[in-house]
Amino acid sequence: MNTATISQPVKKTATSVPKLAVGATVNIPPRRMDFGFQEATSPRHFYGNDPFLSTFWNTFSSLLPEGESFFVEAVRHYRDQITYPTLKAQVAGFIGQEAMHSKEHDAFNQMIKAKGFPVDKLDQDVGKLLKFAQKVLPKPMQLAATVCLEHYTAIMAEQLLRDKDHQAMMKDPEALKMWLWHALEENEHKTVAYDVYELVSGNYALRAGTMIPTTIILFAVMAYFQTRLLIADGQLLNVRQNVKGFNYLFGYKGLFPRLVPKFLDFFKPSFHPSQHDTVALLEEWRTLLFSKEDGLLYDQVKNKAAIGLH
């Protein structure tokens, strides 16, 4: 276990940090956001004007309200076993950030639903699947699955923050702002579930072994949901367009093949999420998004005291 990550006392700043933003003391501030998603002005195919690719990100968003809640419960279960002050603060920040992600993706999904996509039904199906998992899986395996899925979200989020072409494909400014905010915060808290797992279990075989079924189930659910949304959009039989979109994501030099090296790092016994160094990247994006002068999201943060700038 990387005890250097969690064993230091929580640093106090010169100005008091509100109790509601305890995660801000460890650079995991729960920022209360309020994105203004408008069905009338949001492009139906907001990612690259492409139905297949837009549907992919809509599908991913449909997993998140229930998925983020699952992550929170998996970590919260062990909260009372944590004695390290820093890790306790990190867990508080993790729970706060994930709660905000669920809220904003639910609002985004409601906007998608208004366009005629049955994301509410997908959300219900995800909820049933995860409730079943909570019922039948031991708590350590639920936490291991959370660690696996947090690895996916962290490396996908880092890719978005680093790849300007990826960002440019999002033609809805409000959607872009939401995904950038989410990407930043996924990397701010990417070590938390992992460190909790190492503290309460640390079983390498369980961690690595859980990644295989987690990956299979994730992509099976994504493929099924993608098909349902393409049907709703009348695009399922647009073969040429769908093949082009699939290749953009999974073909040679596609978004996901470029993530393979970082994905495989997870299987190293010595792996820790902090080995994917995003410290400078996050400082850059905190300024771009939240600076008082010209931050892209400054006006949308409701709790300015927890904004996360130094």
Percent of the chain with pLDDT over 70: 92
Residue 170 main-chain phi, psi, to 5 deg: -85, 110
- Tell whether 281 is covered by a domain: no
pLDDT in tens, 76-124: 999 999 999 999 999 999 999 999 999 999 999 999 999 999 999 999 9
What local confidence, expressed as pLDDT, does residue 36 receive? 84
The pTM score is 0.90
- Tell whether 116 is covered by a domain: yes
| Polymer length of the chain | 310
- Residue 305 or residue 168, greater confidence: 168
Q: Beta partners for 170?
A: 47
- Tell whether 306 is covered by a domain: no
What is the extent of the structural domain holding 111?
A: 47-276
Instruction: Please report, as a single letter, which amino acid is at residue 84.
Output: Y
As a whole number of angstroms, the distance between CA 303 and CA 297 comes to 12
DSSP 77-141: TTGGG---HHHHHHHHHHHHHHHHHHHHHHHHHHHHHHTT--HHHHHHHHHHHHHHHHHHS-HHH
As a whole number of angstroms, the distance between CA 194 and CA 142 comes to 12
- Tell whether 289 is covered by a domain: no
Mean pLDDT of 192-220: 97
Residue 117's nearest CA partner among 194, 57, 183 is 57
- Tell whether 4 is covered by a domain: no
Asked whether the beta carbons of 307 and 290 are under 8 A apart, the reply is yes
pLDDT in tens, 209-266: 999 999 999 999 999 999 999 999 999 999 999 999 999 999 999 999 999 999 999 9
Q: Which two tokens mark 239?
A: 């073969």
3-state secondary structure of 47: strand
**Residue whose tokens read 């979109």:** 245
- Tell whether 77 is covered by a domain: yes
What local confidence, expressed as pLDDT, does residue 39 receive? 87
Alpha helices, H only, the chain? 51-76, 85-114, 119-136, 139-162, 164-168, 173-188, 192-200, 204-232, 239-250, 260-265, 279-290
As a whole number of angstroms, the distance between CA 191 and CA 186 comes to 9
- Tell whether 24 is covered by a domain: no
Q: Report CA-CA distances (Å) from 297 to 140, 247, 289.
A: 37, 33, 5
**Residue whose tokens read 């991913």:** 60
Domain count for the chain: 1
- Tell whether 165 is covered by a domain: yes
As a whole number of angstroms, the distance between CA 28 and CA 225 comes to 31
| 3, pLDDT greater than 60 | no
